[in-house]
Amino acid sequence: MFKTLKTHQFLFEELVKRDFKKKYKRTVLGMAWSVLSPLLSLLVMRLVFTQFFGRSTPHYTTFLFCGNLVFAFFSESTNQGMSSLMDNAHIFTKVNVPKYLFLLAKNAQCLINFGLTLTVFLLFCVLDHITFTWRFFLLLYPITCQVLLNLGIGLILSALFVFFRDMQYLWSVFTQLLMYASAIFYSVDNFRPEIQRIFLANPVYLIIKYFRVITIDGAVLSWHYHLLMAAEALIVLALGCWMYKKYNHQFLYYV
């Protein structure tokens, strides 16, 4: 893959630039929406859920921001990744290029947006009197796992979307359900232990919890947790790669 990226480096860079410019085309604020959008979502969540869940949760704004930050990155990457093949069908039907290159470009653009929002998140931590320690560097681990997870799901969705256009509607419903199942605005500590273990099957929740434990609790999770997070991301990525390899030649007949 790295050799292919190097071979098609110019095309990859141009795709990232194109997607980034296209997202903010004809908007007044432009790139500022990368920061304003999650902040406005955070404000709404804080206004709605503080009275219900925030009274007993320390640093509730940071608690919410962790969930919103991770889920927004997941939602944007997977939704844009789903249409990556169809949006570029006019290119790969005429030129022989690796089809996953378009998905990588979409995810690179989403990663840039995430980086901008992450900077604002760290500023919020300062305002919320969060103590910064060396453990904050460990956030690179869940970010890496999420990038792999987003790529894996993007590969699966983009392949399915070529054959089934209904995927965009089904995925919209699923992400809404996943948002409520990822404990973005509530804590799972009050649930029974067996219920809490069910949450561990959700890779998005694993990443959100990792962010919260590092930033709010200033602690480090067990190595079992690290392995579980990596395993779930790699399994999804492996499944996505398998689907692309299996149906690679069929894409041309359905776009």
pLDDT one-digit tens code per residue, 123-171 = 888 888 898 899 999 999 999 999 999 999 999 999 999 888 888 899 9
pLDDT of residue 101: 84
Q: Which domain holds residue 48?
A: 38-254
Average pLDDT over residues 168-190: 91
Residue 14 lies in a domain: no
pLDDT of residue 199: 94
Residue 11 lies in a domain: no
Average pLDDT over residues 106-128: 87
Residue 87 lies in a domain: yes
Residue 13 lies in a domain: no
Residue 176 lies in a domain: yes
pLDDT of residue 54: 56
How many domains is the chain built from? 1
**Angle at CA 226, nearest 5°, toward 112 and 189?**
95
Please determine, for residue 225, whether its predicted confidence score (pLDDT) is greater than 60. yes
- Tokens representing 11? 């095309």
pLDDT of residue 46: 66
Please determine, for residue 72, whether its predicted confidence score (pLDDT) is greater than 60. yes
Please determine, for residue 205, whether its predicted confidence score (pLDDT) is greater than 90. yes
Please determine, for residue 251, whether its predicted confidence score (pLDDT) is greater than 80. no
Helix (H, G, I), strand (E, B) or coil at 187: coil
pLDDT category, 91, cuts 50, 70, 90?
confident
pLDDT: which is higher, 253 or 204: 204
Burial class of residue 159 in the structure, from the number of CB atoms within 10 Å of its CB (0-12 exposed, 13-18 middle, 19+ buried): buried
Using the 8-state DSSP alphabet, how is residue 182 labeled?
T
pLDDT category, 181, cuts 50, 70, 90?
very high
Using the 8-state DSSP alphabet, how is residue 132 labeled?
P
C-beta separation of 185 from 161 below 8 A: no
Residue 180 lies in a domain: yes
pLDDT category, 240, cuts 50, 70, 90?
very high
pLDDT of residue 253: 66
Average pLDDT over residues 199-208: 96
pLDDT: which is higher, 100 or 231: 231
Least reliable range by pLDDT among 6-10, 66-70, 222-226: 6-10
Residue 16 lies in a domain: no
Average pLDDT over residues 44-62: 69
pTM of the model: 0.86
